[in-house]
Copies of this chain bind each other. A is one copy, B any other.
Amino acid sequence: MPPALIAIDWGTSSFRAFLTARDGAILDRIETADGVATMPPGGFPAAFARLAGPWLAGRAGLPVLASGMVGSRNGWREAPYVPCPADPAAIAAKLVTVFAGEATVHIAPGLSFEDATGRPDVMRGEEVEILGLAEAGAGLVVLPGSHSKWARVESGCVTSFRTFVTGEVFAAIRDHTLVGAFARNPSSGAPGPIGPAFALGACRGAEASRGENGAGLIGALFGARTLPLMGKLPETDAADWLSGLLIGAEIAEARRLFSGGAPLLAGAPTLVERYRAAFAALGDSALAAPPGAAARGLFRLALDAGLIA
């Protein structure tokens, strides 16, 4: 089947592209470290030509759709946020276009959301994964990471979402505090296999998030130091415990906003396993999503935008 779309997930630190057929099948793919953060000023057209050029040779009219930080203020061109609730048609209606040689590149907007109390939230790039998972029937989506996203989807429409700074807070505490000194001990290193300390941490994090037993998160974090110091946790388990604490706190926080059945989890496999273990430790559950969500979401957007004949 001939190519019908070049779909690009162009984020801060990576460039992932999918040469896609009219039925959504992926014919070829590229993944490089040419993230938006690595682009020199004005460098997007040349990078695009270098990366996607081989696919466009002899197919100048092939539509191109890109999502992610490429559409941010520091990207190729800013595509303003579309407020939630937002369905694929509403997002597709707000693509912005740039030209690179003979190609027209459509850039997808991010999403914004403001809750009843006026708290704003934004995402850029994750929305195509969420749309892809919605195609797979998801009603509640969790995308773990530096900035974990939880999103509610109803009949294909993203109705609400919320960001949790779990991964960034973990790394900052582990690498840049005295409290994190045991967790960054080279003999323990980054959390590897999920051990029992992870589940203990997750339960403590959920308890802290709920204020049970007088606990709270800023106090509970001191446990990463005092538990090993007082012989209540092996030093080598401190990173696993701290990871559990923050993920457990995220889940308890998020469940106040996103109740209901098991969410669909998508992301790096080791992180998805870690989150599944935390859900289980809290007596909750989540399912690992099938791979390929971003490509499916971009394909869906391209259909709604009329880019595929």
* Cβ-based interface call for A309 (8 A): no
Minimum distance in angstroms from A271 CB to a CB of chain B:
16
* Cβ-based interface call for A234 (8 A): no
Task: List A236-292 residues whose CB lies under 8 Å from chain B.
Answer: 246, 249-250, 252-254, 256-257
Contact between B216 and A209, CB atoms less than 8 A apart? yes
Nearest B residue to A113 by beta-carbon distance? B226
- Residue in contact with A218 in the complex, picked from B169, B179, B210, CB distance below 8 Å: B169
Contact between A120 and B211, CB atoms less than 8 A apart? no
Interface size class on chain A is 35 or more
- Do A179 and B173 form a contact, CB below 8 Å, given A112-B230, A120-B226, A252-B216? no
- Do A147 and B222 form a contact, CB below 8 Å, given A120-B230, A172-B176, A211-B256? yes
- Do A164 and B222 form a contact, CB below 8 Å, given A173-B169, A216-B253? yes
Please give the residue numbers on chain A whose beta carbons come within 8 Å of chain B beta carbons, in ascending order.
Answer: 112, 115-122, 146-147, 162-166, 168-169, 171-173, 175-179, 209-211, 213-223, 226-227, 229-230, 232, 246, 249-250, 252-254, 256-257
